[in-house]
Chain A
């Protein structure tokens, strides 16, 4: 039976519409509630379900970032993860995807994970690249956009959403599976479990230590992509209210967006 590693990212709550800092140097997340990235939370739920069904021995969560990300890990422990790893960075910013992938690869090897289950994308940068990069680094097969997961003795059967329809993949273990929205529905955390989670093991590591431990070279450029400036997006639309469908059809007609009368 496998040990499942679930990498987590802490993000701003999905209900918050973030603003740009006045000088455009970044995103203003001051005071916004921080949560586990929703896709990672789904991945964690799916991992916990595998363990509860007796198909995994242990669920280990891991996060990379400043000390604050411990909160996300504690929440994950309260949801039911067995232990947590925190790779602490000096910088406030979360690491670039290639760096995160290298560090997670080192952790996956150290933990002898049979499956890495993670979110397909983080809802802050909306990048959606880390799972694939991690799989490539490990040389493990990957299943993106997972909508269902079935673990067998030495393989995983994953139904993946796709541009059109779905595809069912059978992957040998170890492998990387990236969760889409419908893989699982995250459970609520009870207060009792929050208390229990305080006593679960949470190991703090630093970046150099992790890189060294599996002989993973970190990318030569730590910040291969630099955020130059950000701005808020304003939709400029007419916002013209119409009384009924007849008025709408007249408008669409004018715009060439309604079928012309056939004779």
Chain B
């Protein structure tokens, strides 16, 4: 195209959907927003944050948590009872009103299902292009993202504004940690009085609510299990570990390690794990410190979801399984044996006697 496009214009960052319980924890909320903020800062433009909430008190609480993050100009509170359920139609309409009024040219969200739903619709309302799974900002007009189940990484040039960008939080974790440290230092030295301005969007536009939320089902995970998207250790359950007795041993090891459990598509399709455990190209993309793949063949669609893990371990009885090619450590063995041995290596506790 060759025409130089003006890149100036503020960025709007949409705070993560609080449908996931752990996002309500201040430390988690702060960290997740810091990840998006790290991406947003790369554009070198002022950054606002939009907080959607069903009631004011709730929005204020969360805004206070975020106001002291460095490099935030303004926090917009979009408060309306109709926004509390994260339904795409009212949420996208509210964000559209803000973006149009304030002239934001980049809208940044997390690459979660909630944000794909709402911000994808926002892009449609704005007739703007949108990119999911952004893993790097190479230049103000160039972002990087994987395609083809992670086999390919592409640099994409943004030729039209506004644009909607959904970022993979883990890809910005390092820069986010620096932002959080900066905020903490400023806090200790007591010169953080300013912080971002907190503004309530008033009046709210007319919000359509054509859709009725009839039911919400929690996942089939027990409350003690950490959130898969945020867990430090994740144990992957493949078809080779999804049936008894391996399955119970794996769940027990997860409990003892405080790990979350992920599953392959094959396991979810067979009804052996809930849909929100699926990791991969078309499931969640996770970045734990440790991922242990039990009885997983290593199809590229699955590997696409674990590529950001710091350490990958594979346990599979087939020495030729492709998973070993993407693992740091591998054991060719039956999963049951390895699970039992790993449990033995843990300090024993009365409530967890092996079955």
> Chain A: residues with CB nearer than 8 A to chain B?
12, 14, 17-20, 27, 39, 96-98, 101-102, 120-121, 123-129, 131-137, 141-145, 147, 157, 161-172, 180-182, 219-221, 223-233, 235, 237-249, 251-252, 255, 257-259, 261-262
Query: Bound state CA distance, A3 and B243, in angstroms?
Result: 42
Contact A248 B132 (CB under 8 A): no
Chain A neighbourhood of B311, CB < 8 A: 252, 255, 257
5 contacts between A and B (CB under 8 A): A132-B117, A169-B211, A225-B158, A225-B160, A257-B233
**Which B-chain residue is minimally distant from A252 (CB atoms)?**
B290
Contact A225 B1 (CB under 8 A): no
**Which B-chain residue is minimally distant from A251 (CB atoms)?**
B329
Contact B217 A170 (CB under 8 A): no
Q: Which residues 123-142 of B sit at the A interface, judged by CB distance below 8 A?
A: 123-125, 127-133, 142
Contact B276 A226 (CB under 8 A): no
Query: Bound state CA distance, A229 and B269, in angstroms?
Result: 35
Known A-B contacts A162-B276, A163-B276, A221-B159; the reply to A132 vs B121 at CB < 8 A is yes
Contact A226 B331 (CB under 8 A): no
Query: Bound state CA distance, A162 and B129, in angstroms?
Result: 23
Query: Bound state CA distance, A75 and B155, in angstroms?
Result: 33
**Which B-chain residue is minimally distant from A132 (CB atoms)?**
B120
Contact A169 B213 (CB under 8 A): yes
Q: How far is the CB of A186 from chain B (nearest CB, A)?
A: 13
Chain B neighbourhood of A126, CB < 8 A: 132-133, 146-149, 281
**Top 4 A-B pairs, shortest CB-CB distance:** A136-B124, A132-B120, A245-B341, A133-B124
Q: Which residues 279-296 of B sit at the A interface, judged by CB distance below 8 A?
A: 281-282, 289-290
Query: Which of the four size classes fits the interface of chain B?
Result: 35 or more
Contact A171 B218 (CB under 8 A): no
Contact B116 A261 (CB under 8 A): no
Contact B210 A172 (CB under 8 A): yes
- Per a CB cutoff under 8 Å, which of B117, B148, B342 touches A249? B342
Q: Which residues 59-114 of B sit at the A interface, judged by CB distance below 8 A?
A: 87-89, 92, 112-114
Contact B155 A228 (CB under 8 A): yes
Query: Bound state CA distance, A246 and B341, in angstroms?
Result: 7
Known A-B contacts A161-B275, A248-B329, A257-B311; the reply to A96 vs B219 at CB < 8 A is no
Q: How far is the CB of B346 from chain A (nearest CB, A)?
A: 7
- Per a CB cutoff under 8 Å, which of A102, A180, A230 touches B152? A230
Is B216 positioned at the interface, with any CB of A under 8 Å from its CB? yes
Query: Bound state CA distance, A241 and B329, in angstroms?
Result: 6
Known A-B contacts A147-B275, A235-B325; the reply to A123 vs B157 at CB < 8 A is no
Contact B148 A171 (CB under 8 A): no
Contact A235 B157 (CB under 8 A): no
Contact B268 A239 (CB under 8 A): no
Chain B neighbourhood of A259, CB < 8 A: 256-257, 346-347
**Which B-chain residue is minimally distant from A18 (CB atoms)?**
B148
Contact A181 B269 (CB under 8 A): yes
Q: How far is the CB of B9 from chain A (nearest CB, A)?
A: 15
Q: Known pairs A98-B128, A123-B282, A226-B157. 9 more at Cβ < 8 A?
A: A135-B88, A162-B114, A165-B274, A167-B216, A169-B213, A224-B160, A225-B131, A225-B158, A259-B347
Contact B313 A248 (CB under 8 A): yes
Q: How far is the CB of B290 from chain A (nearest CB, A)?
A: 5
Chain B neighbourhood of A240, CB < 8 A: 328-330
Contact A257 B276 (CB under 8 A): no
Tell me which of B49-57, B174-182, B193-201, B299-307 binds A: B299-307
Contact B213 A17 (CB under 8 A): no
Chain B neighbourhood of A96, CB < 8 A: 129
Contact A233 B152 (CB under 8 A): yes
Q: How far is the CB of A168 from chain B (nearest CB, A)?
A: 4
Known A-B contacts A132-B120, A164-B20; the reply to A257 vs B289 at CB < 8 A is yes
- Per a CB cutoff under 8 Å, which of B1, B132, B219 touches A127? B132
Contact A98 B158 (CB under 8 A): no
Q: How far is the CB of B326 from chain A (nearest CB, A)?
A: 4
Chain B neighbourhood of A12, CB < 8 A: 148
**Which B-chain residue is minimally distant from A185 (CB atoms)?**
B269
**Which B-chain residue is minimally distant from A229 (CB atoms)?**
B155
Chain A neighbourhood of B227, CB < 8 A: 164
Is B332 positioned at the interface, with any CB of A under 8 Å from its CB? yes
Query: Bound state CA distance, A147 and B215, in angstroms?
Result: 14
Contact A225 B156 (CB under 8 A): yes
Chain B neighbourhood of A242, CB < 8 A: 329-331
Binary interface encoding of chain B residues 10-21 relative to chain A, with 1 for a CB under 8 A from any of its CBs, else 0: 000000010111
Query: Bound state CA distance, A235 and B81, in angstroms?
Result: 46
Query: Bound state CA distance, A124 and B145, in angstroms?
Result: 12
**Which A-chain residue is minimally distant from B116 (CB atoms)?**
A128
Known A-B contacts A129-B120, A223-B1; the reply to A239 vs B328 at CB < 8 A is yes
**Which B-chain residue is minimally distant from A253 (CB atoms)?**
B345
- Per a CB cutoff under 8 Å, which of B146, B211, B329, B342 touches A233? B146
Contact B268 A165 (CB under 8 A): no
Query: Bound state CA distance, A136 and B346, in angstroms?
Result: 53
Contact B1 A226 (CB under 8 A): yes
**Which A-chain residue is minimally distant from B221 (CB atoms)?**
A164
